[in-house]
Every structure is written in C-alpha cells, then in structure tokens.
Structure 1
Amino acid sequence: MAHVVSFRKEEPSGPLLREVSGPVLRLTLNNPPANTLSIALMEALLAALDAAAASKEIKVVVIAAAGKLFSAGHDLKEMTQHRADADRGRAFFERTIRLAAEIMLKIGKLPQAVIAEIDGLATAAGCQLVASCDLAICTDTSTFCTPGVNIGLFCSTPMVALTRAAHRKQAMEMLLTGETIDAGTAKDFGLVNRIVPQQYLRQVVDKYASVIASKSPQALKIGKEAFYRQADMPVAEAYDYAVGVMVENMLASDAEEGIGAFLGKRMPEWNEE
C-alpha cells in the first residue's frame, strides 16, 4: 500500500523543531549557536521520541540540526553554573548525563529506524547522538570528535555509543587523543554510513527514509530489536535467539502477506496496526 504523503510543520521556534512528511518525522536541534544538549533540548527530544514510539503513522525518524554545527554536546555553561550548588553540582551533573543516556537508549529501543543527518561538527555528546542512531549520513565537510580528554573530562558516556558504532581501536583513538576527524575518516571508522555534498544531504536522507518507510512496520520493529539484542551475545547464543525471532517473524501477518505477494507477483499491503 502506497503511503499518502502529507506535510506538516510544528513549533516554529524552540529548542527542537518537528516536521512530519508522510510517514517521516524530522526532529531538528535548534539551540543556537552550537546546538548544545541543554536540559530543555534533551527533554524536548525525549518527549518527541516517546511520542514517535507510540505513533502508528510514523515509520522513520530523522534527527537533524539547524545552523553550522550538528551539536557541540552538553551545555558546559549550564553545567558549570551549578558548581555553586551545595553539592558542587553533583545532582545536576547526574541529571544531565542520565537524561542524555536515556535519549540514547530510547533511540535504540524505538520501533522506527532513526537516521542522523549531519552537516557540521558533532562533538562529545553530539557525537554520541550520531553514534546512537541506526544510520548516519553526513556532508563532506562534517567533522567529529570526543574532546573531553582535552579539558580533563574523559568522554565516558559518549564512549558507550562510540564503541558500539566505530571499530574499537578507532574509537579508542578518538577518546584518547580528543582530535577531530573528517567525514572520510568517520566513514572509515564506521561512525557514518554515507558522505554526500551539502546540497544533496536532505535529498539523500529523504530517499533513505522513504525506502525504509515503504517496508513492513512489523518486520522493521522485530528486526531492529533483534539486531541490538543479538549484537552483545556470543555467536552460538545469538543464532539460537535469532532462530526464535525468525520463526515468530514467519508467523507474523506481514511475512505471510509479503511472501504471498512475492509469489503472486504483486505489491504487498502491509498491516498498519
């Protein structure tokens, strides 16, 4: 069944912009000048992800950013202001960092695919956000880094996502040196999927989103959950788990419809429930 494409833009201002185009939700970080992950922005992003998870209409989520930077990570000015608190900022630091971790976990558990669209610098928790998304597409001028070590703060929470997206030794190189890598190096490291010229970024991301949105919602939900669960299992355990998932998927209505459509040489009509 073809999706009816509609377009709706919501919230013209605020730290997070929302656009809905057919089955695709676009969330744009809008916290100038550096799109730092302030409490306000992270709360808005988490709420938007929660709403997407509950939606039957949204099939793909894109996380983009306004301005020249994707995200400079946590708002260090906001955090530093709380060093004057009675606990020297401990409670606020924990709230900030745990909220970011909750967002990263939410992205992985979301039934929809999540695509990061990067144009500019993604650093520290901004790089963590890129690494946490299912796919990442960037411009050829985008750059990435985990520079905490340069200011006496090892990027321990960005490390969790980074070591699960990039190759281990390359992730450690980024974490130990704090140096900025270019788009080509980020692709070599495994941090991004594609590099495109800036003028084609939105077009390429929209194409990926459209292709993914055309697939079975049941299969995408089952497959995404299984992908992340098996990734941390020993290989024999992963196969045992995947066999069970595959059998249950075969029994699902979309698999029955999809296989029947393939054998009958017709387009499938997915169950939207």
Structure 2
Amino acid sequence: MINVIKKDNIVVLNISQSNATIPFCFEFEKECKASIDDFTKVLVITSEIENFAPYCHVDNQNDCIGLINTILSIKIPVIAAIELEAKSCGLELISACDIRICRKGSKFSLKQIYDGIPFRGVTQILPRLIGKGRALDMILTSREIDSIEAENIGLISYIDKDSAINKAMSIAESISENSAPIATKFVKEAIVNGVNMPIKQGILFESDLNIILHSTKDRSEGISSFIEGRPPKFKGE
C-alpha cells in the first residue's frame, strides 16, 4: 500500500506494505504520476517496511524498469528517506532519487547477482553515484555496507541518528520555501543532463536554461523582492 501525504508543496509517498494482488512497481509508478501536480515542489519517498521496497518478481521486470525511469524523469527534487535498510529492489529505487537520507545503522546491498535476477538500471545509475570501481565491488560481491560507508562513498547524502524522514522533511521544506520553482527544476535539469555532456557543452546548456529563466515572472519577482527588502513570492510562472 502506498500512502500519499501532502504538506503544502511537498508530496510524501510512504510505502507501508505490499499489496499481493498488485505488482509493487506498477502501483508505485502510478502513484508517482498521480500525486505530483504543477504546485508540487519536492517529492519525498519513504518506507515503513524493512527493505524499503518489496521484492520485485522477475515477471514484472518491465514494470520495475518503468518505475525507475519515471523517478529519473521527475523534474522536481526527489528525496529518499531510509529508516531501516535498502537492499536489492530497495537500493535500486533509492538510487534513482536525487538526495538520499538514512537513519544511523541502516544497511545497503545488492543481492541480485547471486540469485541470477536481472538488474533494473542499477548497473548504470550506481556508477554515476559512487564511481565504477565501488559500484562493481558492491554488485559483484553483494557485500553489505553500513550507513557510515554509504555516506563516505556518496551513496547517502545525510545520516540522522534519530529519524531519516524528519531530516528529509526539513530539507524538503528548505527547498520548497527558499527556492524559485522554475529555477529549482532548471538546476536539476542542468546537473542531471549536463553531467553526461562535455563540460563546455554543459556550460552552454546551463546558459540556455538561464536565458529561458530570464523571461519568467519569478525572476522579476526575485529582483523586485531583493530591491524592496522582502521575501519573494514565487508562483512558478
């Protein structure tokens, strides 16, 4: 079951249990698409189950790949809050998110290779997060790493000793309250797409986005609010 919680401009998708009659990846992808609207500034994904995401059966391979691609294509920031552990399907899911936060003591591993189960994008995503050598080590050995090592290698952005979701909400609120919506989307687009370009091409891409941003009402509001010494009131226009 996926619980959808909306707080101002933040959407939280909480995985509470797996519905045996509906493949998880299909259900979760549907909720991702349905819960985000033009007013959503940040998506937070968290879970109450031990392994973050339920086991994905090989028969649902296409649904799982579809879910990963859907998360990767979301234009707003996506934050994963891991309270317990993220292994195999769980790790694949959090790897597609932009910022990953875990509670101290969380565990991470990829066990698929021992079971001969196909991967769902993690062989491409993980090296981009932690480097080729570390990704090969995690995938080929299936070894488990703890929260400290996960942070050291770049898999995790923050560790909170008490609550990953509280830390995630604090960051989400900071993004929602202090960032212009269009600029936030453009920053994510510039980084996600630009990192795969030669640096000069990436800078040109950033410049193109900046030119588009100049024509928005939010930019004018940002300048006006600065001159007038007041908080900006961005509308995403």
TM-score normalised to the size of structure 2? 0.90
Aligned residue for 1:166? 130
Per-residue deviation at 1:154?
A: 6.0
Q: Superposition pairs for residues 1-273 of structure 1, below 5 Å?
A: 15-31=1-17, 40-53=23-36, 55-71=37-53, 73-75=55-57, 79=58, 93=59, 96-153=60-117, 155=119, 157-197=121-161, 199-214=162-177, 215-272=179-236
Per-residue deviation at 1:39?
A: 5.2
Secondary structure of 2:46's aligned partner: strand
* Structure 1 stretches of 4+ moved >4 Å: none
- Given that 2:107 and 2:144 are in contact with CA atoms closer than 8 Å, whether structure 1 keeps it comes out as yes
- Given that 1:69 and 1:119 are in contact with CA atoms closer than 8 Å, whether structure 2 keeps it comes out as no
Per-residue deviation at 1:30?
A: 2.4
1:154-198 deviations in whole A, cap 9, x for unaligned? 64632222122222211111011111111111111111100111x
Change (3 A) 1:101 1:152: closer
1:97-128 deviations in whole A, cap 9, x for unaligned? 22222222222221221110101221122101
| Gap runs ≥5 in structure 1 | 1-14, 80-92
Aligned residue for 1:87? none
Letter in 2 for 1:202: I
Aligned residue for 1:84? none
| Gap runs ≥5 in structure 2 | none
The alignment of Structure 1 onto Structure 2 pairs a total of residues equal to 236
Letter in 2 for 1:134: D
- Given that 1:146 and 1:155 are in contact with CA atoms closer than 8 Å, whether structure 2 keeps it comes out as no
Aligned residue for 1:11? none
RMSD between superposed Cα atoms in Å:
2.1
Secondary structure of 2:140's aligned partner: helix
Change (3 A) 1:193 1:16: same
Distance 2:22 2:195 in 1: 31
- Greater radius of gyration (CA): 1
Structure 1, 156-165 or 181-190: larger mean CA deviation: 156-165
Change (3 A) 1:202 1:157: closer
1:80-112 deviations in whole A, cap 9, x for unaligned? xxxxxxxxxxxxx3xx22222222222222122
